[in-house]
Amino acid sequence: MARSVADVLSAHVPRGNYPHPRLGSLNSSKCLNHAIYNPRVIFAAFFLVITIKPIKLTLMKHLFPLLLLLLSSTALAESGAYRVEVIVFRNLDVVSDPVLEDELKSFSRYPRLDQIILDDASLEIPNKHLPEDLNVVLRRSSRMDGVWRRLRTSQGYRPLIYKSWMQNRVDFYPPMRVHNESVIDTQLRPPTNMVVADLAAEDPLAAYRSTFYQIDGSVQLRRSRFLHLFLDLEYRHENSGEVIDMGLFDNQDAAVELASFNEKNSVFKLKENRQIRTGRLQYFDTPHFGALILVTAIRADEGL
């Protein structure tokens, strides 16, 4: 009987209660940070103080120290970062039917997390194509390394991709592109009918060229009141590209239908979003493939 991913990873799935996504274990000072982490609360309180004229001086005398405390507490709550780790895996025991697509979806607009191997095995690598405050992380954490090893030695699953990065704790952060290195197509897809070629560049139309990978998509960690993960991943199979000889078919309609089917792209899709907690391994799957994601809260005064 095939084992589920939960069975394979049972030693790596934590039990019991989990910490708050931003605050860790709750105490009185952290509860205060949580109550006022949104700057709009502070500005609303300050506006209330300065607009109620009959009592504003008295209120200012008593509330101004509190406002300073709120501001400093908010700054503390916003410091630090989140580390996101993504493992994409294949399910070897299940046969499922793909979706047939006339045109592949392009993820080229999202920042790429290119893993560049350096001689000094640096953990964090700046990349000019990524947001300025984002760091690509090459080395797996000990926990995710254990997950990778268990998947690799299991009979029913194979790990395919590992990607990781650190982002700040702002409310909105752009999706990160996640893909393997198997290119199945490259197309020119300008946003309008007019293109401007850079004749000095090696590829004058590089800005309009989209690369399509076998495994391609985006992962986004967003924070509002709670943390949310947004996944949009695709596992693609190249069409055969086989030329159909129409003369071999008595029924030309059937020949045309077969040729049209042959030109479509076979795509397995994983698109989901959910509220998450830091420190808890998140499992997303389809019958064909899936993803395991771990988000870790990093305080400003601690490293990886």
Contact 89, 157 (CB under 8 A): yes
Q: Are residues 138 and 158 in the same domain?
A: yes
Q: Is residue 29 one of the residues assigned to a domain?
A: no
Q: Are residues 113 and 247 in the same domain?
A: yes
Query: pTM for this one?
Result: 0.67
Last residue of some domain: 76, 92, 107?
76
Domain count, the chain: 2
Residue type, 49: V
Q: Are residues 188 and 280 in the same domain?
A: yes
Q: 116: which DSSP letter? A: -
Q: Which residue has the tokens 């709120």?
A: 70
Distance CA(49)–CA(64), nearest Å, equals: 9
Q: Please give the backbone phi and psi of residue 246, each rounded to the nearest 5 degrees, phi first.
A: -60, -25
Q: Please give the backbone phi and psi of residue 63, each rounded to the nearest 5 degrees, phi first.
A: -95, -20
Q: Is residue 211 one of the residues assigned to a domain?
A: yes
Q: Are residues 56 and 109 in the same domain?
A: no
Domain that holds residue 70: 36-76
Q: Are residues 70 and 209 in the same domain?
A: no
Greatest extent of the chain over all pairs of C-alpha atoms, in Å: 94
Q: Are residues 223 and 190 in the same domain?
A: yes
The tens place of each residue's pLDDT in the chain, 304 residues long, gives 567 777 777 654 444 443 434 334 334 333 434 444 455 555 555 555 555 555 555 655 665 555 555 544 444 445 689 999 999 999 999 888 999 998 899 998 888 887 444 433 444 444 555 677 788 999 999 999 999 999 999 999 999 999 999 998 887 888 999 999 999 998 887 777 777 777 777 777 777 788 999 999 999 999 888 999 999 999 998 765 554 444 554 555 544 443 444 568 999 999 999 999 999 999 999 999 999 999 999 987 665 5
Q: Are residues 63 and 110 in the same domain?
A: no
Handedness of CA 79, 303, 284, 87 (dihedral sign): positive
Q: Are residues 184 and 230 in the same domain?
A: yes
Q: Are residues 199 and 128 in the same domain?
A: yes
Helix axes 39-51, 56-78, angle to 10 degrees: 170
Q: Are residues 88 and 60 in the same domain?
A: no
Q: Are residues 169 and 244 in the same domain?
A: yes
Q: Are residues 116 and 254 in the same domain?
A: yes
Q: Is residue 228 one of the residues assigned to a domain?
A: yes
